[in-house]
Amino acid sequence: MSSKKTLGKEILEHLELYKHLGVRWVNVPPAAPGPKSRGTAKTAAVAAGAAPQPAKTTSPPARQFFDHRTMFDELPGPRETLQEIRTDLGDCRRCKLAPLRQHIVFGSGSPQAELMFVGEAPGADEDEQGLPFVGRAGQLLTKIIEAIDMKREDVYICNILKCRPPENRNPESDEIAACEPFLIRQIAALKPKVICALGTFGAQTLLRTKEPISRLRGHFIEYRGAKLMATFHPAYLLRNPNEKRKVWEDVQKMRDYLRSLRA
């Protein structure tokens, strides 16, 4: 009886995740037929007009972008606090974005966070409030966080860039170069168990790669002492809601990994 209750709880949990991510349908694969009924099942599928299913392929192993040293060991001196890093950042004038911004968007969340989200750059709402992910994309990110049984205050959220690029254009290389040292120091201060890289620039900057996000997402990558999972940016999901199921798969892996560490 207890096993049935556990299974029921897991099913409800998965359905709740789908609900939060806006998924309204799922593909349920048919049960595998036994040896004696395999021919009958195939005949029935053809009669029903079903398209033949392609052969399953084995996914290639996850790429390893770094060796197994941790960046925390490579940083000299005692570990900094997030407040010390923010103080050092000051009224930053290290790149051409400084005269255009309203506020520096440093980051927010728990300094003891096990899960860290790294996005691309602040948008208009973030620039106005000085906080990351507070616009429509941020509201969706909040739902994603809540869907894995966490709260925004349990995690840490920041961006590659600390200032908004004009018209929300893509970050440029000199801007990334100016901001990245502070991001690396934030990661070192937190020492998160999992880093979720949101979108193309978040993933490509951290991993030093030009691989598209569609190839990077879906599996853990060893990243200097943490597990990094790349996934689609919430802003992308607002434009392409059909991709929300893939993000659900990614955040479920992060949630289950963190649970396994606590167990």
Q: What is the pLDDT of residues 5-39, one digit of tens each?
A: 555 655 555 455 545 554 444 444 444 444 444 44
Please state, for a pLDDT cut of 90, what percent of the chain lies above it. 69
> What CA–CA distance (Å, rounded) separates 189 from 81?
6
| pLDDT of 248 over the 50 cut | yes
Q: Kind of pairing, strands 194-198 and 108-109?
A: unpaired
Mean pLDDT of 126-147: 97
Q: What is the pLDDT of residues 180-189, one digit of tens each?
A: 999 999 999 9
What is the per-residue pLDDT for 10?
Answer: 54
> What CA–CA distance (Å, rounded) separates 170 from 167?
9
Mean pLDDT of 207-225: 95
Q: Which top CATH class is 71-262?
A: alpha beta
| pLDDT of 168 over the 90 cut | yes
| pLDDT of 66 over the 80 cut | no
What is the per-residue pLDDT for 76?
Answer: 44
Q: How many CB atoms lie within 10 A of CB 166?
A: 9
Mean pLDDT of 40-61: 43
pLDDT band at 132 (very low <50, low <70, confident <90, very high): very high
What is the per-residue pLDDT for 7?
Answer: 56
What is the per-residue pLDDT for 67?
Answer: 38
Q: Residue 116: what are its φ and ψ, rounded to 5°?
A: -125, 130
Mean pLDDT of 70-99: 82
HSE (side-chain half, CA atoms, 13 Å) at 103: 14
Mean pLDDT of 234-254: 97
Q: How many CB atoms lie within 10 A of CB 30?
A: 9
> What CA–CA distance (Å, rounded) separates 188 from 98?
25
What is the per-residue pLDDT for 43?
Answer: 41
**Contact call for residues 188 and 174 (beta carbons, < 8 A):** no
Residue partners of 126: CB distance under 8 A and separation at least 6: 105, 132, 133, 134, 135, 138, 164
What is the per-residue pLDDT for 174?
Answer: 97
Predicted TM-score (pTM) of the model is 0.75
Least confident of 59-68, 216-225, 254-263: 59-68
